[in-house]
Amino acid sequence: MKARLIIVVIVLALMMVVMLVPIPYLSKPRTHHITLDSQRYEYDPGRLEVHQGDTVIIDFTASDVVHGFYLEGYGIETRVEPGLTKRIEFVADKPGKFRFRCSVTCGSMHPFMIGELVVGPNTTLYRAAATMLIGIAGTLIYLWSFKGEQHE
């Protein structure tokens, strides 16, 4: 009897820990302020990393000629003239990898002017899934603890 109570307490405690222990940096939505420069035929930086739910503010500039920014999956498009700054702001609500590419024909290698936005998973979802698994495992262990008794 006592062993069963201990199982229940341990399982509940584990669920609480997984659900509530803060993981700084990952838990809270952040605002990323990114300066993205473009010139033939690349973006600097070429890869942006955020997490789902984060707000992304991009100050988009061009160093040589007019360049564009088209973000696949999010359908965001803009262009900027050299010397100017275009602000792009959005919430990264879709997880996954998305390419962004130049939408202005800027030269012979223009089709290869591609960057990547990586939107990492929402950790709240992972926590919920982990909590559920612990709950299921705990329930199975609890039920299994009755197994021997029924035959006695």
Window of 21-29, 84-92, 95-103, 117-125 that interacts with Cu ion by CB under 5 A: 95-103
Q: Is 106 an interacting residue with respect to Cu ion (CB under 5 A)? A: yes
**Cα distances (Å, whole numbers) of residue 88 to 32, 52, 81, 91:** 12, 17, 14, 10
Residues 107-146 that bind Cu ion (CB under 5 A): 110, 113
CB 68 within 8 A of CB 104: yes
| Nearest distance in Å: CB 32, Cu ion | 24
| Nearest distance in Å: CB 47, Cu ion | 18
Count residues binding Cu ion (CB under 5 A).
5
Which is closer to Cu ion, CB of 58 or CB of 106? 106
The one among 58, 102, 119, 134 contacting Cu ion by CB under 5 A? 102
Nearest to 101 by CA among 71, 133, 59: 71
End-to-end CA separation in angstroms for the chain: 15
CB 31 within 8 A of CB 53: no
Q: Is 36 an interacting residue with respect to Cu ion (CB under 5 A)? A: no
Which amino acid is it at 87?
R
Q: Which residues contribute to the site for Cu ion (CB under 5 A)?
A: 102, 104, 106, 110, 113
